[in-house]
Amino acid sequence: MKPHFFVATLLGLCLSRAVLAEPLFASETLSLNGFGTLGGVYNLDGGADFIRDISQPDGARGDGVAWAVDSRLGLQATWRPLEDFESTLQLVSKYRHDGSYHPEITWAFLKYMVTPNVQIRAGRLGTDIYLQADSRDIGYGYLWVRPPVDYFGRLSVSYFDGADFAVTQELGEGILKGKLYAGQARETLPADGGAQYSLDGTSVAGGHIEYQNLNWLFRVSYAAIRLENETPAEPLLNVLQSTGIPQAVALAQEMSLARKRSDFFGAGIAYENGPLQSQLAISYLASDSLMFPDSNSGYWSIGYRIGQWTPYLVYSRIKSDHNQRATGLPNIPPFDAINAGVAQALSGSRADQETFTLGMRYDFARNVDFKLQLDWVDSRVNPSLLWRNPDPDWDGQATIISATLDFVF
Amino acid sequence: MAPHFLRSNSPFEFQAILKALPFGRWWLIGLWWLIGLLPCLVLGARADELVVVVNPQSGVEQLSKAEVINIFMGRQKKLPSGATALAVDLTGPNAEKKNFYARLIGKDLAEINSYWARLLFSGQGSPPRQAETAEEVLDIVENNKGAIGYLERGQASQRVRIVHALPE
């Protein structure tokens, strides 16, 4: 009897220990985290407003330090009552289309892990069109002051309401991952003359395949965006249509944004080896509307950490297709005003520029970094999709100095 | 400025001796270097090998470096045996944690934190569970089938299984 009693006591002790260990994790079911960036941007050239992306109505112009371009604050609550179930809510306050810092819900989803390798999320999700496109607000998460504007600046949909589905599979020494998503966009973008463009009703669908091993990450992605609403230049399109001239009517149709589709194709490679990190990404946008012309863009970034310092270099480039079209209307009053209006509307949606970036990230304390960055931008078009309020005689060149303090908690 | 006992009024006339020696100054600098390096050499020799440990019931006998990386970086959420992985990290910053990531993937803790910030705030996952001490790591690994942690070799107990070693 005695040995049995001994074994039973031991077993009981082991079991109670296992049970006691459980609440350790249960108490970790709710977590609160945050991230933020305090950043100042100075544009040495006064010809146009430098913006981070097309959600910003104005930016750094050279009349003082612009704090709005990069500064932001985010809060996130994650509730994980079970091992395979999670719920996340994220609020971000940043400078937005209406010139306010009104916080927006950027993430709000339920996640269910069907197996450790298969997960489904539903709710509000970040748009993962390109590598790191869904973490553009988290300055502490990347090397640069901001994601390269030539590549990410044009992305309009940063989140959508819908679902995504991801599967991972071990392959060799790495992990192969596939992801599909679909949903509806909700954001609002600023447009010329204080107008706004609502993405309400815009549908988003896409996916990517990614392979990551010790040093390399490869991703190919595709996304389709179908805009719901008409361009703020709609009155102009109505005038074109009302002329009854076939070429003008056809142009109005080509310029329309409502129910037009854009296809995004992206490919990215990242290489990391100890203190070295490098990324190369390219994308092609094929659009059905002249107001959002086809374009190619890409960037290459390289950084090397020396102690707490990481100097980096970036080259980025975007070039949109020529989108000017003749209206077929004679250039005499009253038609010359229509021709000028069309030319202006189309030229404002182009982008053709390259940027050389030199910067340094300094990780001086736990979960805080300081970055200093210099950008030399050369825009070959004026006006441009990526600049606000340009002077008509601006030569398209600008030198931008930025400093940020990024933190997470 | 030379320390006070090296000044010319010192009974040993250090400065005069140093001046007399060929490359006098450099002898002194070399001496300072040696004194400075000594504790580093002693500590360096004492620095223990780090080992990755799992629960003996996990069904895992050995893990490759790539498998350890995939689990600790949140890319693989299960052990090769199929159990859901519960990675246990040490709360930073401390020497074991710094050495673990330096030896595993050559990354600094700031880079690891940056990586997790990107994943955490894009809903892709949370960093490993943080344990305060090596004893807590042991306790969690001993009591959870899917748990995986790291320790100095000397700290590993009989109730955990070593599946990967990270020598200096």
ipTM: 0.89
Asked if A158 reaches chain B (Cβ–Cβ under 8 Å), the answer is no
Q: Which structure tokens are listed for B32? A: 């300072």
**Which residue bears the tokens 């980025």?**
A316
Residues from chain A that touch B123, judged by Cβ atoms under 8 A, are 88, 90, 107, 109, 111, 121, 125-126
Residues from chain A that touch B70, judged by Cβ atoms under 8 A, are 170, 174-175
Given CA atoms B40, B42, B45, B49 in this order, what sign does their dihedral have?
negative
Closest CA to B87 of B49, B125, B120, B57: B125
pLDDT tens per residue across all 409 residues of chain A: 344 433 443 333 333 333 322 333 334 688 999 999 999 999 998 899 999 999 999 999 988 999 999 999 999 999 999 889 999 999 999 999 999 999 999 999 999 999 999 999 999 999 999 989 999 999 999 999 999 999 999 988 999 999 999 999 999 999 999 999 999 999 999 988 788 999 999 999 999 999 999 999 999 999 999 999 999 999 999 999 999 999 999 999 999 999 999 999 999 999 999 999 999 999 999 999 999 999 999 999 999 999 999 999 999 999 999 999 999 999 999 899 999 999 999 999 999 999 999 999 999 999 999 999 999 999 999 999 999 999 999 999 999 999 999 999 9
CA distance A7 to chain B (A): 17
CA distance B66 to chain A (A): 6
Residues from chain A that touch B78, judged by Cβ atoms under 8 A, are 116-117
* Contact assignment for A21 to B144 by CB distance below 8 Å: yes
Chain B interface residues facing chain A, Cβ-Cβ under 8 Å? 64-66, 69-70, 75-78, 84-85, 92-93, 105-111, 113-115, 117-118, 120-123, 126, 129, 139-140, 142-144
- Distance, CA of A399 to CA of A382 (rounded, Å): 16
Q: How many residue pairs bridge chain A and chain B with CB atoms within 8 Å of each other?
A: 102
Closest CA to A37 of A140, A134, A126: A140
- In chain B, what are the domain boundaries? 4-46, 50-166
pTM: 0.85
Q: Count of CB atoms within 10 A of residue A153's CB?
A: 25
Asked if A94 reaches chain B (Cβ–Cβ under 8 Å), the answer is no
CATH T-level assignment (fold) for domain B50-166:
D-Maltodextrin-Binding Protein; domain 2 (3.40.190)
Asked if A2 reaches chain B (Cβ–Cβ under 8 Å), the answer is no
CA distance A367 to chain B (A): 7
CA distance B153 to chain A (A): 24
The structural domains of chain A, ordered by start, are 44-408 (2.40.160.10)
Q: Which structure tokens are listed for B36? A: 């400075």
Q: Which structure tokens are listed for B106? A: 């050559």
**Secondary structure (DSSP) of A326-380:** --S--SSTTHHHHHHHHHHHHHTT--EEEEEEEEEEEEEETTEEEEEEEEEEEES
